Chains A and B, each alone.
Chain A
Amino acid sequence: MEKVHYTQEINITPQLMERINVLISHYPEDKRKSALLPVLHEVQDAHENWLSIELQNKVAEIIGIQPIEVYEVVSFYSMYNQKPVGKYMFEFCHTSPCCLNGVENLMDYTCDKLGVKVGEITKDGMFSVKGVECLGACGYAPMLQLGDFYHEHLTPSKMDQLIEDCKAGKITLLAEI
């Protein structure tokens, strides 16, 4: 299989650096590595929701660990994206309790509407659809995660509305710090 190397522009703003330093301060001075997971979240949030190899190297440098220590973590956890994703990534929970309340049909509906298959991004880079495992919202199914937030008790018409709201720029993706 051909390996594509995705690149991205790296921008560690002073504001981001300040937040990173706050996170690092939550652990003993000789345990900076412990901050890796929270730091990766913040860095990914500031970089269109994915982490290129170059960006991972940068995180290693900031924390003061080997790049391999970052790679092995990024590749283990499902929330870190190693290649570009849609601006609005619909992550539907497709675990059994949600299936009992029709999430599979709703995913089909959404994919048809956006003209993509599960795992794909729309041509304009705006949307992608993913199936993920239980998000801790089983009683409010069907549901999806979008950025830092959950959208619950969904129906086809609520899906239509959500897509419209995304297009109109009305949807907040990140929770305020």
Chain B
Amino acid sequence: MSRKLLLEHINVPGIETYEVYRKHGGYASVEKAIKKLTPDEVVEEVKTSGLRGRGGAGFPAGMKWSFIDKKSGKPRHLVCNADESEPGTFKDRFLMEKLPHLLIEGMITSSYALGANLSYIYIRGEYMWIFRILERAINEAKAAGWLGKNILGSGYDLELYVHCGAGAYICGEETALIESLEGKRGNPRIKPPFPAISGLWANPTVVNNVETIAAVPWIINNSGAEYATIGLGRSTGTKLISASGNIKNPGVYEIELGLSVDEFMNSDEYLGGMSSNRPLKAFVPGGSSVPVLPANLIFKTANGEDRLMTYESLSDGGFATGSMLGSGGFIVYDDTACIVRNTWNFSRFYHHESCGQCSPCREGTGWMEKVLNRIENGLGREEDIDLLWSVQAKIEGNTICPLGDAAAWPVAAAIRHFREEFEFHIRFPEKVKSRDHFVSEPFDQVKHLLAKATV
């Protein structure tokens, strides 16, 4: 189960340079696409592969490409989303740092498919050293004739540039990203129109995650049908997982979709179990925006089936007992972690990152942060839990972009699965005074107090 498509050559010394990358078959997909396939045939291969967007939403990439407006005759653009700011996610950075040419190759092949002659990689401003790596790699690719005018004598022209953000999670949302690329504040646009019709400078635009684009060369080299045989069901191919928290081997892993959560968590090939051999308490499988799950729902679904690393299995049970694969930001908590503190921390993040356009998000995230902060610090009231529930419910579905939902879901899930921990904070304020309250006394050891406490 350790098939590597993206990271096949990761351990080859010098693979970040053009020469070594090329020697190991790099840029073959560009040659094949441009010399042997029409743009529409490239789109078809990607459709057949079943590749789904790796940025979080999991939308089929080939289908998204087929929506791009080719009739209006306006210039088209491909924009790579390298904003990577979802807490728990650090895979795109790994890929770009180690395999910059894989991303560039994917950008060229994909731009050809879309008929884009001017494409961009939008990278978060904090990754400035990677911005430089990509700039250098683009220059190398250009010098070798893979970019510029009349690529491989085909008549196809492509210019590719890197653009940097400057510290704003919201710019990962595709329409905010486009605004930011136009030199403006990152305020998401109201959809429709979708970027495929009116995106960058009102031109038809496709926005795809780094990992999505990096999967394209393999698909073109080996065929979409071959890609579709890897993985499980509608979760085709491999996925990069960023693993962090209380585990032995944090880092970035390429897994074949369909691997069991148990094997991923506990085998030495992957995370190697818990870092200090403490009991597992909870996990977040897909970045801070997806619901947290308690220990009893991690390895098995509510029906008692094995929980697998697929889009379908991780969301099995809906929000009642499931979560989401999201961006693949896999965060593991042991019994010393405090769910209330973690939820407050995430709420602070969303409040800080809200662009402020919609009142439910702007005000609601502020309220959630404030109420969670007082509960965490032993100043909560019994009715605060219901208050939190009602605030999150009022944000969800009532905003311009999904950041509102992303802020609401973690709060809802924490209350759904860990309500007792909130009650404990409210009823035993003296027990949560120190920041590390569950380090000396994990919740499991003090939970019995709740039974005796009356409201």
Check B129 against A76 for contact (C-beta < 8 Å). no
Contacts of B191 in A (CB 8 A): none
- Secondary structure of the B contact surface, majority rule: mixed
State whether A97 touches B129 (Cβ < 8 A): no
B87 contact from A73, A76, A96, A145, Cβ within 8 A: A96
In the complex the two chains form, what is the Cα distance from A176 to B135 in whole Å?
11
Q: Is B127 an interface residue, CB under 8 A from the partner?
A: yes
Q: Give 1 or 0 for each of A101-138: 1 = CB within 8 Å of chain B CB.
A: 10010000000000000000000000000001111111
Interfacial chain A residues near B164, Cβ < 8 Å: 37-38, 41
Partner of A136, one of B89, B183, B345: B89
* Of the residues A26, A34, A139, A145, contact of B126 by C-beta under 8 Å: A145
Flag A29-41 by CB within 8 Å of B: 1 or 0 each.
0010111111011
Q: Does B239 contact A (CB under 8 A)?
A: no
Q: Which of A137, A138, A145, A176 contacts B132 (CB 8 A)?
A: A176
Separation of A72 and B180 alpha carbons in the complex (Å):
12
| A177, B87: Cβ atoms closer than 8 Å | no
Q: Which residue of A lies closest to B247 (CB)?
A: A139
Query: For the complex, what is the distance from the CA of A33 to the CA of B180, rounded to whole Å?
Result: 10
In-complex Cβ contact of A134 among B128, B181, B342, B349 (8 A): B349
B183–A77 touching, CB < 8 Å: no
Query: Do A34 and B168 have beta carbons less than 8 Å apart?
Result: no
- A99–B342 Cα gap in the complex (Å)? 9
Question: Which of B22-30, B329-337, B384-392 binds A?
Answer: B329-337
Q: A72-B184, A78-B168, A139-B252 are in contact. List 13 more A-B contacts (CB 8 A).
A: A31-B182, A77-B165, A77-B168, A79-B126, A95-B349, A100-B331, A101-B245, A134-B86, A136-B84, A139-B242, A139-B244, A139-B250, A149-B129
Q: Which 6 A-B pairs have the closest CB atoms?
A: A139-B250, A77-B166, A78-B167, A36-B183, A79-B167, A138-B244
Q: What residues make up the interface of A, taking CB atoms closer than 8 Å to B?
A: 26-28, 31, 33-38, 40-41, 65, 69, 72-73, 76-80, 94-97, 99-101, 104, 132-141, 145, 148-149, 175-177
Binding site for A on B (CB under 8 A): 84-90, 92-93, 118, 124-129, 131-132, 135, 161, 163-169, 180-186, 201, 242-246, 250-252, 288, 329, 331, 333, 337, 341-342, 345-346, 349, 352-353, 435
